[in-house]
């Protein structure tokens, strides 16, 4: 299966696509540029907003307002104020991938800007009560998502080449019992962002591999080719959540590299799940 061009964007580091059912658009970010962008499934660009710093991910609250994960914590779109602040960390750390969990917390991780520093990052949980450290000694905190019952969290620290599973406690947001769920052979690329379909299959972007793969029970069952190598993140989109929108990155590639940093679209033959919303605490 081959993904087709949705939008010529040329993003340096396109990431974090989220379907917005109210606007019928995909919200996505160009991380280091601090840009939050929108695109319809017809390829029409919507409004764009530039946050005051790098933005690794975005999420919507139940009321429909949006926040972004910036180096210091979570930032409201409408006035750039902080919803929740991370503890003081090294100056070269920033937020990377993140999502709302099934009960409305935000879970997201950090990494260093520029050359990744081994085990300098970590994974955090945000809610109205606290900012909680979940996992430390992470190098590139990346894709994450939850099983249908919310009791398993899947997580990627890219250089490990693994997708790990944790037991997830919905009552307090704590994780336990970390174990490897799947390993991506390095010759296929490095695992980056991910999403989950209605049958529990994980769709994982392969940085350097020019593809998104579906895994079930830890094994690859499907592969979508993307015509540029640095594939960053897929998300299910559309009124029936049966389209897959895929972000990519141009960073480090030849400026003439075709398709790098553009957005792509395909019909995978299965539907996904609507992104979780943050609770009212994040308004």
Q: Write out the catalytic residue numbers.
A: 192
HEC assignment per residue over 202-241 = EEEEEECCCEEEEEECCEEEEEEECCCCEEEEEEEECCCC
> Is 240 exposed, middle or buried (CB count within 10 Å of its CB: 0-12, 13-18, 19+)?
exposed
Q: How far apart are CA 51 and CA 231, in angstroms?
A: 23
Q: How far is CA 135 from CA 166, 175, 263, in A?
A: 11, 8, 31
Q: How far apart are CA 35 and CA 40, in angstroms?
A: 17
Residue in the structure block whose two tokens are 């933005």: 55
Q: How far apart are CA 215 and CA 227, in angstroms?
A: 21
60 Cβ contact partners less than 8 Å away, ≥ 6 residues apart: 18, 20, 66, 100, 275, 277, 278
């Amino acid at each position: 299966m081959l993904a087709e061009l949705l939008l010529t964007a040329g993003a340096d580091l396109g990431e974090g696509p989220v379907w917005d059912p109210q606007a019928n658009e995909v919200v996505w970010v160009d991380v280091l540029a601090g840009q939050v962008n929108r695109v319809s499934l017809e390829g029409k660009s919507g409004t764009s907003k530039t946050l005051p710093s790098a933005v690794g991910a975005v999420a919507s609250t139940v009321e429909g307002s949006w926040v972004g994960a910036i180096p210091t914590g979570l930032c409201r779109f409408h006035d750039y104020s902080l919803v929740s602040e991370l503890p003081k960390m090294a100056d070269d750390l920033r937020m990377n991938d993140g999502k709302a969990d099934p009960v409305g917390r935000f879970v997201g991780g950090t990494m260093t800007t520029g050359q990744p520093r081994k085990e300098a990052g970590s994974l955090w949980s945000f809610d109205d009560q606290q900012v909680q450290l979940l996992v430390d000694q992470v190098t590139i905190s990346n894709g994450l998502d939850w099983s249908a019952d919310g009791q398993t969290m899947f997580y990627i620290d890219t250089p490990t080449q693994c997708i790990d599973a944790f037991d997830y406690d919905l009552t307090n947001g704590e994780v336990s019992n970390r174990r490897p769920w799947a390993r991506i052979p390095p010759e296929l690329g490095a695992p980056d962002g991910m999403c989950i379909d209605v049958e529990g299959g994980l769709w994982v972007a392969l940085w350097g591999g020019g593809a998104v793969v579906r895994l079930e029970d830890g094994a690859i069952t499907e592969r979508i080719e993307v015509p540029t190598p640095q594939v960053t993140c897929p998300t299910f989109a559309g009124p029936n959540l049966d389209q897959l929108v895929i972000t990519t990155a141009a960073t480090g590639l030849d400026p003439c590299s075709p398709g790098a940093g553009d957005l792509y679209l395909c019909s995978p033959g299965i539907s996904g799940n609507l992104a979780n919303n943050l609770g009212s605490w994040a308004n």
